[in-house]
Amino acid sequence: MDISRGLSRRSVLAGATAGVLAPVVVGASSAPPSATAAGLTRRVTIYAEQLPGGLYGYGLEPGQATIPGPLLEIYEGDTLEIELVNNTDQRLSIHPHGVNYETSSDGAPLNASFNKPRETRTYIWRTRTQYQTNGGFWMPGSAGYWHYHDHAMGTDHGTGGLAKGLYGGLIVRKRGDLLPLRQYTVVFNEMMINHKMAPDTPIFEARLGERVEWICIGHGNLPHTFHLHAHRWADTRTGMLASATDNAQVIDNKNLDPGSSFGFQVIAGDGVGPGVWMYHCHVQQHSDGGMSGIFLVRNADGSLPAGAQDALDRFKGHVHTPTTTTDDHSVHSMHMSHG
């Protein structure tokens, strides 16, 4: 199984100034950060390219576009400058959620903010820490699990780009946030997960005891929920509790509607052990129709736990039958039930 997308945070943060948490672009070979009045600035080049099957994606190098695109990450107070290279014959852009930008970096045709075919354009996204207003009230900063996507292909709202794979995850952290060992982006878009349907959906991997971060994003026209078997998280900004007395709700299923996003961290197999655990949409018609995938928790030494290969084989043989009513007996024709 491919675990190449689980990146070590130690390698990502290598070279940071002592005592300072540097901004991060996961997996990027971007320019080093430079100090500005607002904080640090990270510059990165992203390439928009056509993929087989009429799809499109963003990538950090020419010929390396993926669906979803690269996970981008910075800290509150810092700036991300994105040089978007449009290597396609389509009008497109890159539009963020959760950060600050001027109209020129909106990514929307309304503001004439887009790349013409074969054009290169720079978009600037800024972040801020929480701040106090008159009367003693506080306004939130930018920290959160966000996302970015095209806003110009097909229509003035980027409907064509979203339908064809132009999207990715964006994390803005507070300095001092706990960093994971592995990160996975999960996008529910219509009846697909990362533009795939089971049994071709991603199999995400970790070893027992590793800290894993999930970034969940919704697109398209359908409402979804995200459910992860045997693992749970707090319904907070980070998915973690702030203290022993934090009584935030603990969940294992959360709404994931179009345009929404959230994230959380779990300890792989904590309290349940290694194994083959499902993640899926809990709208039953959607899970029946192929919106399910696998979180494979290996033994601590990397070996497969007992029974895992059989479970993986069953998943690969999984028959998905879309249902139209809640009492449709076709759900019982599946080789494996969804919990």
- The domains found in the chain, sorted by start residue, are 22-173 (2.60.40.420), 182-333 (2.60.40.420)
Report pTM: 0.86
* Tally of CB atoms within 10 A around 269: 24
- State the average pLDDT over residues 105-133: 96
Distance between CA atoms of residues 14 and 9, nearest Å: 8
Question: What are the C-alpha distances in Å from 157 to residues 55, 91, 106, 197?
Answer: 17, 12, 12, 25
Give the containing element (helix H, strand E) for 162: helix 159-163
**Residue-wise pLDDT tens digits, 41-92:** 999 999 999 999 999 999 999 999 999 999 999 999 999 999 999 999 999 9
Dihedrals phi, psi of 162, to nearest 5 degrees: -65, -40
Tokens representing 169 are 């995850």
Give 318's pLDDT tier (boundaries 50, 70, 90).
Answer: confident
Taking phi over 0 as left and psi of -120 to 50 as alpha, with beta for the rest, 5 belongs to alpha
Question: Running DSSP on this structure, what letter comes out for residue 114?
Answer: S
